[in-house]
Structure 1
């Protein structure tokens, strides 16, 4: 059962939540010692595993019928078969998330509570945002909330607005790009998403546009960050030009995002070390 829960939590995507924490810590920490403070370590630990069990557990519970048509569940992921362990694990993960409020300053609370609210509302009724085109994309800005919480917890202030909006656009594009391989099974199940509404080609254009705007906003904060993030719209252009299947390119993004996140994190760490 532990092995099942680990696979349910999508280990390949663990850094999609924990990675932003590292970036937030790197840019929010005033000193080297703060990098290893209790809030920093606790936030990283929570968003590495329990938060993924929460996010994907809810998703799998309420998508059980849809996932019968999803080929990703055959190998890369697992199908929820009604086990009571999953809801219990989800509830425990929520409680752990609420426990973070005890060890973080109040300035971080809106970001933490926002993550739990959107994480549940994305998959669970009555909101079930994932079934409403555009709202499914917009709500996935939730992936940058762990980083915002980490920055706020260590710096004592909210992250720069340009970084929040830029990160939100990046997450919107990443989510919608990941929905392209699900277009066919979602259509068979009668699920409407931004990707099913636009179709593959227009969805790619939507993602490229969000990523481009994200790069521009980060470039206003730091031109080096903007140049780094330009790799995302450039990659979309490369996939289209080379006629690369998106369901194949999709599985390269954990590595791509890890490298980009590592470069951003090193930039923040260099600031701390120099300081």
Structure 2
């Protein structure tokens, strides 16, 4: 009697489940999709854009280019992440879910898609998108490794993960008011804060791996001061744009209404002095992004309904 032939689709599913899960984990999409959406909507709106096919294309391209940055970072950092138990489990290459070769092939596929999508949106958007892709590559590539070069780590992170996405969305439409593209500095400053936050969180692991970035160079206390300074500068730039009416003056009413609801738990702990705002800062990131998303959506909808006064 011949042995029973196994169920081929089931065997294939069992074989593919782990690497597919590893590839999805490599993208780390939960860490940036919300932020990239807000950044893209801001750029498109200030560029005179509206909800149309161009917005969907530039949003997909921006999400993919940031996804490439995260993916390639984990490919290059796999040996270093293996030194830390928590990071080793988060990085699918360090965890043995996929091989470095599969990770590199996935990065190549994503980068090709990115360039193709940006090319559909015109020459300026394509050049900015290609620059963003290049910076994302150089940020992690071990030969250059900009993330291990003080100051360059902040600039490359701020531009490749925020500022250039804003500009790509802006120039996909390019119908905004004069100099409104300068608002890319706002999202760049927010991204600089994010980079400093990440460096502060991972400072001990990075030291073991020999990575010397800005936070390690200036120390914990000055890093926290620089984080606050970047947020203050971003807020000052927002006030300038409101004063010049490049952003509607009624728009801040939206976050003032939404923020207390989304930050209720964090505010309660702070008022009761059960938490420190700097030590508890990461718990505030997702609510802050949701506030930004709601604000951008209301801005788009309000301009589509000029005869309806929201406020």
- TM-score, normalised to structure 2's length? 0.73
Match of 1:18 in 2: 37
Once residues 181 and 11 of structure 1 are traced to their aligned partners in structure 2, the CA distance between those partners, rounded to angstroms, is 19
CA contact (8 A) 2:167 2:181 kept: no
CA contact (8 A) 1:173 1:210 kept: yes
Match of 1:45 in 2: 60
* Aligned pairs (5 A) from 1:18-167: 18-30=37-49, 34-37=50-53, 39-48=54-63, 50-73=64-87, 78-80=92-94, 81=96, 82-141=99-158, 142-144=160-162, 145-156=164-175, 160-167=180-187
Structure with bigger gyration radius: 2
User: Which moves more between the two structures, 12-21 or 166-175?
Assistant: 12-21
Could you report, residue by residue, the CA deviation over 1:29-55 in whole angstroms, capped at 9, with x for unpaired residues?
A: 45xxx4122x2112222333x334411
- The change in CA–CA distance for 1:117 and 1:97 in structure 2 (over 3 A counts) is same
Could you report, residue by residue, the CA deviation over 1:151-200 in whole angstroms, capped at 9, with x for unpaired residues?
A: 21023568624302222112111211122110110112221011212222
- The change in CA–CA distance for 1:219 and 1:60 in structure 2 (over 3 A counts) is same
- Which residue of 212, 218, 229 corresponds with 2:238? 218
Aligned residues: 263
Q: Which runs of 5+ in 1 are unaligned?
A: none
User: Which moves more between the two structures, 66-75 or 9-18?
Assistant: 66-75
CA contact (8 A) 1:105 1:156 kept: no
Q: Which runs of 5+ in 2 are unaligned?
A: 1-18, 244-248, 260-265
* Aligned pairs (5 A) from 1:181-260: 181-222=201-242, 242-243=275-276, 246=279, 249-250=281-282, 252-260=284-292
Could you report, residue by residue, the CA deviation over 1:63-99 in whole angstroms, capped at 9, with x for unpaired residues?
A: 1222123454255554445332211110011111110
Aligned partner of residue 82 in structure 2, secondary structure: helix
Once residues 76 and 187 of structure 2 are traced to their aligned partners in structure 1, the CA distance between those partners, rounded to angstroms, is 27
- The change in CA–CA distance for 1:177 and 1:98 in structure 2 (over 3 A counts) is same
Once residues 122 and 146 of structure 1 are traced to their aligned partners in structure 2, the CA distance between those partners, rounded to angstroms, is 16
Once residues 163 and 68 of structure 1 are traced to their aligned partners in structure 2, the CA distance between those partners, rounded to angstroms, is 39
User: Which moves more between the two structures, 172-181 or 262-271?
Assistant: 262-271
CA RMSD of aligned residues (A): 3.1
